[in-house]
Amino acid sequence: MLILLPPSEGKTEPVRGKPVDLAKLTFPELTAARDALLTPQWRQAPAAAAEKVYTGVLYQALDVSTLPAEARRHLRRAVLVFSALWGVVGLGDRIPAYKLPAGAGTAPYWRRHLPARLGKGLVIDLRSGPYAAMWRPVGEHAVIRVLHERDGVRRTVSHFNKATKGRIVRDLAISGVRPRTVDELVAVLRDLKHTIEREEDRVDVIVE
């Protein structure tokens, strides 16, 4: 199982620690592509685990530091965070706080450099649009949308979307269930009391 997340705009700047070591990041074969985007400031800034640097709404809801040890270990293996600067990083990868939003040139740049497959098994895709354009999953995958329903009308609301996605990843990690197909994922999410609607590889989570 592979869980794809966007980064967060909100970041906590590490106050101490060695700078990023590109060769030690997930997918070290991306070192040259990452190196081309780094500025001197980011090369020299203190680095910390991505799960501590990313502190936006999704990551607050996920709250990795309070998860049971086995759930934390699982997420560090299963989660890839997409980034305009790094391509992808794992939650345990040490990175500095940075500011580089996904722009028009990001998607084609990383589509050229990211491998065709990023892992094995079911891909659970919770990325937002600009980051989803960087890489398209192949094989068994589910694209998760969160829709806020009010007075019979459904729409995407940023805060609900991000917070709910963080809770979904947290719930999956704590459950200990590792779905292998979209059908299994839908069943697990329903067991976890999420309201789910499915259309082929799109899985909608409905919140009120």
CA distance 49 to 76: 10
86: its two tokens: 């790094």
Maximum distance among all alpha carbons in the chain? Answer: 52
Q: How many domains does the chain have?
A: 1
Nearest Cα to 27, choosing from 77, 83, 90, 76? 90
Q: What is the pLDDT of residues 48-90, one digit of tens each?
A: 999 999 999 999 999 999 999 999 999 999 999 999 999 999 9
Q: Which domain holds residue 178?
A: 2-207
Nearest Cα to 180, choosing from 1, 20, 50? 1
- pLDDT band at 104, cuts 50/70/90? confident
Q: Please state, as a whole number, how many other Cβ atoms lie within 10 Å of the Cβ of residue 10.
A: 14
96: its two tokens: 């500095």
Paired sense of beta strands 141-150 and 123-125, if any: parallel
Q: What is the pLDDT of residues 110-120, one digit of tens each?
A: 999 999 999 99
42: its two tokens: 């980011």
82 beta partners? 88
CA distance 198 to 110: 29
Helical axes 158-175 vs 182-191, angle rounded to 10° = 100
Rg (CA), the chain: 17
Q: Which helix (H) or strand (E) holds 148?
A: strand 141-150
Q: What is the pLDDT of residues 145-193, one digit of tens each?
A: 999 888 778 887 777 899 999 999 999 999 999 999 999 999 999 999 9
* 115 touches 134 (CB < 8 A): no
